């Protein structure tokens, strides 16, 4: 008999102390992950964090190597949405989204990721969940658990690998709704990796799932900046506060000779932020280490490298903007 067949609520409760065991309401097992639904009424954020740590430690043997995710229920979660957008493809928006999610998780934020790039989903690769499939309870999807125990959903989880999607706007809109209306448990912040440009997905999101704020990613080159300005205009029209701009692929240091160069230019995004009177959140270098970590599904923000520190600094600025009411 498999671990999936034998691991039930009774077995989980038997491994826990009485006060904590009584709070376990349900256990869901899916490939590579165990999800616990826990009664959270009366527990503040610190108590929930302590309970989550205790659950994971106590159930480590039963998990048999699987990831353990804990979702608390019983009190309404105040959930915010931040859209990560770009005016054009190829500027590294998805990589930025994945690393910001990891950086926020490391800072203690209960974060989830929605890969809203319906036609070109990449978050399953970036957050190492490519082979996972979400389960559904009725018509409600249950997010899969990616790198750093981050709950996430993507069209890449729902269609066969490599299959091209040729959907018109209404179909894309319904698919997007499935991702947003999933059971996000106690996630307090959802990062939404948007497709590039200003198309149907962005319009549907603004109409039905209006974000609390938006972040725009661009490279320093003039063409990318012009497209980024158009993306910003769409958020302005939808009355979505722009939390700031990120300059990606900003500077390259040769790993052999140490010479620094700027193949995409330098400082363009910061200057654009100044012209538009928007916050400049920071810059991320063009780095072989970022590319290798992304391809491996282990975002570089998981570590303590200079590149990881750059993502964490930007994540801190986004958190501060949300905390102080800039969004």
165 & 216 share domain: yes
148 & 87 share domain: yes
pLDDT at residue 187, rounded to an integer: 94
237 & 118 share domain: yes
62 & 211 share domain: no
234 & 284 share domain: yes
Confidence band, pLDDT 50/70/90 cuts, at residue 6: very low
95 & 60 share domain: no
Per-residue H/E/C for the chain: CCHHHHCCHHHHHHCCCHHHHCCEEEEEEECCEEEEEEECCCCCHHHHHHHHHHHHHHCHHHHCCCEEEEEEECCCCCCEEEEEECCCCCCCHHHHHHHHHHHHHHCCCCEEEEECCCCCCCHHHHCCCCCCCCEEECCEEECEECHHHCEEEEHHHCCCCCCCCCCCHHHHHHHHHHHHCCCCCCCCEEEEECCCCCCHHHHHHHHHCCCCEEEEEECCCHHHHHHHHHHHHHHHHCCCCEEEEEECCCCEECCCCCCEECCCCCCHHHHHHHHHCCCEEEECCCCHHHHHHHHCCCCHHHCCCHHHHHHHHHHHHHHHHHHCCCC
172 & 231 share domain: yes
69 & 87 share domain: no
Distance separating alpha carbons of residues 210 and 83, to the nearest angstrom: 9
Q: Of 33, 51, 73, which residue is a domain's last?
A: 73
The answer, yes or no, to whether residue 90 has pLDDT greater than 90, is no
pLDDT at residue 165, rounded to an integer: 57
pLDDT at residue 75, rounded to an integer: 57
pTM equals 0.76
Task: Compute the average pLDDT of residues 133-155.
Answer: 92
42 & 99 share domain: no
Residue 282: domain span: 80-323
More confident residue, 190 or 137: 190
CATH number at residue 62: 3.30.70
281 & 167 share domain: yes
Domain count, the chain: 2
62 & 122 share domain: no
The answer, yes or no, to whether residue 175 has pLDDT greater than 50, is yes
Q: In Å, how far are 10, 24, 25, 182 from 36, measured between CA atoms?
A: 12, 7, 8, 16
pLDDT at residue 111, rounded to an integer: 98
Q: Of 14, 42, 73, which residue is a domain's last?
A: 73
The answer, yes or no, to whether residue 4 has pLDDT greater than 60, is no
Confidence band, pLDDT 50/70/90 cuts, at residue 110: very high
The answer, yes or no, to whether residue 50 has pLDDT greater than 70, is yes
66 & 110 share domain: no
Distance separating alpha carbons of residues 39 and 24, to the nearest angstrom: 6
Q: Of 14, 43, 73, which residue is a domain's last?
A: 73
Confidence band, pLDDT 50/70/90 cuts, at residue 5: very low
What is the chain's mean pLDDT, rounded? 87
- pLDDT one-digit tens code per residue, 216-225: 999 887 666 7
């Amino acid at each position: 008999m498999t671990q999936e067949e034998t691991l039930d609520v009774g077995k989980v409760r038997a491994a826990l102390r009485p006060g904590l065991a009584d709070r376990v309401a349900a256990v869901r097992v899916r490939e590579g992950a165990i999800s616990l639904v826990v009664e959270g009424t009366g527990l503040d954020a610190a108590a929930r964090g302590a309970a989550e740590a205790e659950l994971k430690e106590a159930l480590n043997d039963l998990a048999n190597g699987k990831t353990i995710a804990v979702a608390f229920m019983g009190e309404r979660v105040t959930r915010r949405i931040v859209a990560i957008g770009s005016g054009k493809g190829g500027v590294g928006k998805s990589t930025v989204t994945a690393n910001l999610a990891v950086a926020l998780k490391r800072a203690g934020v209960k974060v989830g990721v929605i890969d809203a790039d319906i036609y070109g989903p990449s978050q399953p690769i970036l957050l190492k969940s490519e082979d996972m499939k979400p389960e559904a309870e009725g018509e409600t999807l249950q997010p899969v658990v990616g790198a750093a125990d981050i709950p996430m959903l993507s069209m890449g989880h729902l269609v066969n690998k490599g299959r091209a999607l040729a959907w018109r706007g209404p179909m894309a809109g319904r698919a997007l709704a499935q991702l947003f209306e999933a059971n996000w448990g106690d996630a307090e912040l959802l990062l939404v990796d948007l497709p590039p440009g200003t198309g149907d997905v962005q319009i549907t999101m603004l109409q039905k799932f209006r974000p609390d704020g938006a972040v725009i990613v661009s490279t320093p080159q003039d063409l990318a900046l012009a497209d980024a300005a158009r993306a910003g205009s769409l958020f302005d029209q939808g009355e979505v506060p722009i939390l700031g701009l990120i300059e990606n692929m900003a500077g390259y240091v040769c790993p052999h000779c140490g010479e620094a160069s700027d193949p995409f230019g330098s400082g363009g995004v910061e200057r654009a932020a100044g012209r538009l009177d928007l916050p400049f959140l920071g810059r991320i270098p063009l780095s072989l280490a970022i590319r290798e970590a992304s391809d491996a599904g282990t975002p570089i923000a998981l570590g303590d490298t200079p590149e990881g520190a750059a993502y964490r600094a930007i994540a801190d600025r986004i958190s501060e903007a949300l905390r102080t009411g800039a969004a």
